[in-house]
A and B are shown apart, each in its own frame.
Chain A
Amino acid sequence: MTLAPEKPRIYEGTRIPSPVPTALRVTPERRQGGDILQVNFGPNHPSTHGVLRLIVDLDGEEVVGLEAVIGYLHTGFEKSMESKTWWKAITYPERIDYLSFQYNELVFVLAIEKLLELETPPRATWMRMLLCELNRIHSHLVWLGTAALELGAISMFWYCFRERDRILDLFELVCGARMHTRYFQAGGLAEDIPPGFFDECAKFVEVMPKAIDEYEGLVDRNQIWLERTKGLGLLSAADAIALGQSGPVLRASGVDWDLRRAEPYLAYDQVDFRVPVYRGGDVYDRYRVRMEEMRESTRIVEQALRRMPDGPWIADDRKVVLPPREELHTSMESLIHHFKIVTEGYRVPEGEVYVAVESARGELGCYVVSDGGPKPWRVKFRAPSFVALEATATCMSDALVADLIAIVGSLDTVMGEVDR
């Protein structure tokens, strides 16, 4: 006896709407035949993670038309940064994506360092990697908590925020602020790693795998969770690439792609980690990818803790890096350097660079143009959330209105980053 072949979960061909790839339009037959109701979802809706507006056309329960309207949180970060010195502008990127702040800071600092051709000492490199991976866990925890909350699993939210708080405590230990640490400087770190950090971080690394077991225990065999995530919001590998998707969304569609492995930056070529890939391209697989990424990130943090090099935490380049505080009292040169960097800023050689890192949401890029002066001529962020929202229309092709929240949530967008 042969079993019936399992129905393929992913579609064939393409589902990207045409001619506008980011908007699902009601077909004329539908409009004639059905009773189309246009509903405005957002911009102020608790499950839009910010201020996202979706114009949804409904035929009964079915979503037959959809267009995302963004820009409600546009703050003009890129314009503001053009009028700040390089040194001061580092503060801005963190606030663009307020959930994966370390990555935004990192990508901008890496761009400055690429133009300056500045090498960072190994201790700074490893610490950056450690904090970034902590930040990935933090970002995924917020996603998991809120995505589950939107589907009715309220308790998940409290569990996730319990561990998230421990991560924020670690950031507080490092710099005094729980978010937006501004701990990365061009050349390395702002200060040496504070005493006690490694012990606290080691405690967290011990707790985290058990916590992930708990989260999975809450939802993995929960029939409601499975019904509301499996087979929904489908996105094929070819469509995901054509729509520029990256990060967990791309990996859930079966594309084995991670910038940490494809173009290793920091010390990712020296640590051992797996890249989880799933083939279903649905909401459930995006959830699975993020869960496994949290485990892998914990492993990277553990390795970084064990192998953290000693030595200086910032490059020795007095034209770019602030001199040590204690030298200011005794050295005239140090005082001059300090004064010049703080008031006028350091000069960055002329040129244009594009740097990309794998943030919690995917390829986070930073395109920077310098004219050789102390301020950036142009800063442009390639925001993974912005691109992820372009895929809503494709993912929503055969969705019901009740699935809409699950699907938008699974793309994990942060509106601050979308609108910048």
Chain B
Amino acid sequence: MSDNYNAVPGLAEIRDAYGETTLVVDPARLLDACIHLRDEHGFAFLAEVAATDYLGWAGKGVAGSIGTDTGRDLNRPGSQGFQSLPAPKPKRFSISYHLLALGDRGRAQRVRAQVWLDDGEPAPSVVGVWPTADWHEREAWDLFGIRFEGHPNLTRILMDDDWEGHPLRKDYPIGGEPVRFSEAE
């Protein structure tokens, strides 16, 4: 990579995979890191904030194996064992900030800043750094239940205001919402 990201505050790890650079940052210093990336490296454009829930990651086999309800464990002896377990993740949730630098002569440069959080652990809000983060963070709160400290208006955005639970969590069942009149037959 041409750019040197070692000076990013709170940097825990740099990963290069599939031609993309991921900077894992300590959540406590996320704001400093974001301001540094925006002002020193020119990442003026926040493309999106993507949360991911890793509950059950590498737990039993791989996601969505078909066969039984619980999935077929491909790591079991006799299962031909060609599927290795994915590498474990440090915490349950990750938040990826996809940043874009609108470079000279129309050349793009991208980087992914990433923080890891446990359930219930808040992340600092970056609305002050990139105003566009407003709705992205509200979406992450709505669908994953991740709180963003310092967000000016952290309310549900896609689901109803009185919705219970956070649907994109892995422990939220598909088809789990009650259907009216389904029992009165």
A binding-site residues for B, Cβ under 8 Å: 16, 19-23, 70-71, 74, 76, 78-80, 82-83, 85, 114-115, 117, 241-244, 255-259, 261-263, 275, 343-344, 347, 350-354, 356, 363, 365, 367, 369, 371-378, 380, 382, 386-387, 389-390, 419-420
Q: How far is the CA of A71 from the CA of B127 in the complex (A)?
A: 21
Q: Which residues of B contact A16 (CB under 8 A)?
A: 131
Task: Report B51 CB to chain A, min CB distance, Å.
Answer: 8
Name the residue in A71, A82, A343, A376 with the highest tally of chain B Cβ atoms < 10 Å from its Cβ.
Answer: A71
In the complex the two chains form, is A22's CB within 8 Å of B134's CB? yes
Hey, what's the 0/1 contact readout for B91-115 against A, CB within 8 Å counting as 1? 0000010101011001110101000
B1 at the A/B interface (Cβ < 8 Å)? no
Q: State which of B6-14, B56-64, B116-124 sits at the interface with chain A.
A: B56-64
In the complex the two chains form, is B134's CB within 8 Å of A369's CB? no
Task: Using known A-B contacts A115-B18, A373-B83, determine if residue A354 contacts B159 with beta carbons closer than 8 Å.
Answer: no
Q: How far is the CA of A367 from the CA of B48 in the complex (A)?
A: 9
Selected contact of A82 from candidates B64, B130, B135, B152, CB within 8 Å: B64
Task: Report A415 CB to chain B, min CB distance, Å.
Answer: 12
Task: Using known A-B contacts A70-B157, A350-B86, A367-B50, determine if residue A20 contacts B134 with beta carbons closer than 8 Å.
Answer: yes
In the complex the two chains form, is A261's CB within 8 Å of B65's CB? no
Task: Using known A-B contacts A244-B46, A244-B47, A390-B132, determine if residue A262 contacts B108 with beta carbons closer than 8 Å.
Answer: yes
In the complex the two chains form, is A85's CB within 8 Å of B64's CB? yes
- What are 7 pairs between A and B in contact, CB < 8 Å? A20-B153, A78-B168, A79-B172, A243-B132, A363-B100, A371-B63, A378-B50
In the complex the two chains form, is B98's CB within 8 Å of A257's CB? no
In the complex the two chains form, is A374's CB within 8 Å of B132's CB? no
Selected contact of A343 from candidates B52, B66, B152, CB within 8 Å: B66
Hey, what's the 0/1 contact readout for B136-168 against A, CB within 8 Å counting as 1? 000000000000000011001111100000011
Given contacts A21-B132, A71-B156, 19 further A-B contacts (CB under 8 A): A20-B134, A21-B127, A70-B157, A71-B158, A71-B160, A82-B64, A114-B18, A257-B102, A262-B103, A344-B66, A352-B52, A354-B110, A365-B98, A367-B98, A373-B61, A374-B64, A374-B65, A375-B64, A377-B52
In the complex the two chains form, is A79's CB within 8 Å of B167's CB? yes
Task: Report B45 CB to chain A, min CB distance, Å.
Answer: 6
Q: Which residues of B contact A255 (CB under 8 A)?
A: 102
In the complex the two chains form, is B102's CB within 8 Å of A241's CB? yes
Query: Which chain B residue lies CB-closest to A255?
Result: B102
Task: Report B16 CB to chain A, min CB distance, Å.
Answer: 11
B184 at the A/B interface (Cβ < 8 Å)? no
Q: Which residues of A contact B45 (CB under 8 A)?
A: 241, 244
Task: Report B63 CB to chain A, min CB distance, Å.
Answer: 5
Selected contact of A380 from candidates B46, B50, B132, CB within 8 Å: B50
B179 at the A/B interface (Cβ < 8 Å)? no
